[in-house]
Amino acid sequence: MKYKRVLITGTVGFIGFHLSERLLKEGVVVIGVDSINEYYDVEVKNRRNAILKKYPNYHFSKLNIAEYEKLSKLIEKEKPEAIIHLAAQAGVRYSLIDPWIYAESNYLGTLNMFEVARRYNIKRVLFASSGAVYGNNTEIPFAIEHRTDHPISIYGATKKANELLAHSYHHLFGTEMGGMRFFTVYGQYGRPDLALFKFARNILRDEPIDVYNHGKMTRTFTHVNDVVDGIIALLNKKDLKYEIYNFSGSDSITLIDFIDLIGKYIGKPVEKRYLPMQAGDIPAALVDISKAAKDLGYKPKVKIEEGVKDFIEWFMKNKDWLLKLKDS
């Protein structure tokens, strides 16, 4: 591992948790930062944090990255060698309800992360972007060189803004910037606001599943283990200036087939409620990962059947507390 002390924001979030655990197992000191916000039930975040806290090389601070002074004091104390910035107000739909929280965490929070990197001479910064930057692009698969200057959600616009700001910081201060566009990530300890979790819960509760766009949407789901492999490959990349990568899974699936797969592994019939497309959603998300493959050797390994099966097995083992979580 190229770096021995890495600051990760959003460590009790879904991707941050998995990434942190992998690095902690490798002996890296993970300086974890998270505000533990209540966008979804904090029970999941507290459980993830309890797992991470078992590692003596995990240094956690509950902190809002929008608060610059507190952040800079932490950096002075902990002296990280690299930053992996995953904290964000996530979610496409919620950005229509509370756009201000996206401004605070995604605009100001990201500016603060880039600014501490500049002031404390932290050369390498990786940051999470999103497939949402592709907006309503009809040219698929989505490739890095495609235009992404017309996002169709407030969330997507904040993620695009992060990519632009990163470019300015690279140009002005030479920060090595690695932007990572993720696409519907799933896996154990996954987000309760996302489809897989909600569908599994509904099936177990004998409640119907809302199938938007009549199930005709296509998605490339990405297993969190593949995402973690991609992030680590980018962290270790020898030369980095300013690059953006698509990190997505290998196979795509329609929403309807995805739901049937979940039903199959739970072993219960699925009641579906067909609905039109929702504002801000995109009909197809097929992704070109050739740049990540070429530069980083990125090769997603987890097949959707295998990943969903693994998630459902975890869900069934933990269903006593999972089914009690507040709906998000």
C-beta of 106 vs 202, nearer to ligand NAD: 106
C-beta of 9 vs 148, nearer to ligand NAD: 9
Cis peptide before 269 (omega within 30 of 0): no
Paired sense of beta strands 58-62 and 29-34, if any:
parallel
**Is residue 268 classed as helix, strand or coil in its secondary structure?**
coil
C-beta of 23 vs 88, nearer to ligand NAD: 88
12 binds ligand NAD (CB under 6 A): yes
191 binds ligand NAD (CB under 6 A): yes
Instruction: Name the token pair of 7.
Output: 């600051």
86 binds ligand NAD (CB under 6 A): yes
Paired sense of beta strands 284-285 and 218-220, if any:
parallel
49 binds ligand NAD (CB under 6 A): no
Which residue numbers are catalytic?
Answer: 155
166 binds ligand NAD (CB under 6 A): no
Neighbour tally for 86: CB within 10 Å? 25
With CB atoms as reference, the residue minimizing the distance to ligand NAD is 13
Q: Which stretch binds ligand NAD (CB under 6 A): 62-70, 198-206, 243-251, 286-294?
A: 62-70
Is 272 in contact with 279 (CB distance < 8 Å)?
Answer: no
* Structure letter (DSSP) for residue 83: E
Is 122 in contact with 79 (CB distance < 8 Å)?
Answer: no
Interface with ligand NAD: number of residues (CB under 6 A): 30
C-beta of 77 vs 268, nearer to ligand NAD: 77
C-beta of 24 vs 88, nearer to ligand NAD: 88
Q: In the stretch 16-45, what mask flags binding to ligand NAD with x, by CB under 6 A?
A: x----------------xxxxx-------x
Enumerate the H helices of the chain as residue ranges.
14-25, 42-52, 68-78, 99-102, 109-119, 154-173, 195-204, 224-236, 255-266, 290-296, 304-317, 319-322
* Structure letter (DSSP) for residue 236: H
Paired sense of beta strands 252-254 and 218-220, if any:
antiparallel
For residues 81 and 61, give the distance between their C-alpha atoms in angstroms, rounded to a whole number. Answer: 17
Instruction: Name the token pair of 237.
Output: 């990349």
128 binds ligand NAD (CB under 6 A): yes
Q: In the stretch 197-236, what mask flags binding to ligand NAD with x, by CB under 6 A?
A: ----------------------------------------
Q: Tell the smallest beta-carbon distance from residue 180 to ligand NAD (Å).
A: 8
Residue 226: CB partners within 8 Å, gap ≥ 6?
A: 247, 249, 300, 301, 302
Q: Which stretch binds ligand NAD (CB under 6 A): 114-122, 183-191, 240-248, 250-258?
A: 183-191
**Is residue 247 classed as helix, strand or coil in its secondary structure?**
strand
Q: Tell the smallest beta-carbon distance from residue 159 to ligand NAD (Å).
A: 7
C-beta of 221 vs 265, nearer to ligand NAD: 221
179 binds ligand NAD (CB under 6 A): no
Q: Tell the smallest beta-carbon distance from residue 271 to ligand NAD (Å).
A: 25
Specify the residue for token string 């497939």: 131
Site for ligand NAD (CB under 6 A): which residue of 3, 14, 114, 247? 14
Residue 9 to residues 27, 147, 191, 272: CA-CA distances in angstroms?
18, 28, 16, 37
Site for ligand NAD (CB under 6 A): which residue of 82, 88, 312, 322? 88
Q: Which residues bind ligand NAD (CB under 6 A)?
A: 9-10, 12-16, 33-37, 45, 64-66, 86-90, 105, 109, 128, 130-131, 182, 184-185, 191
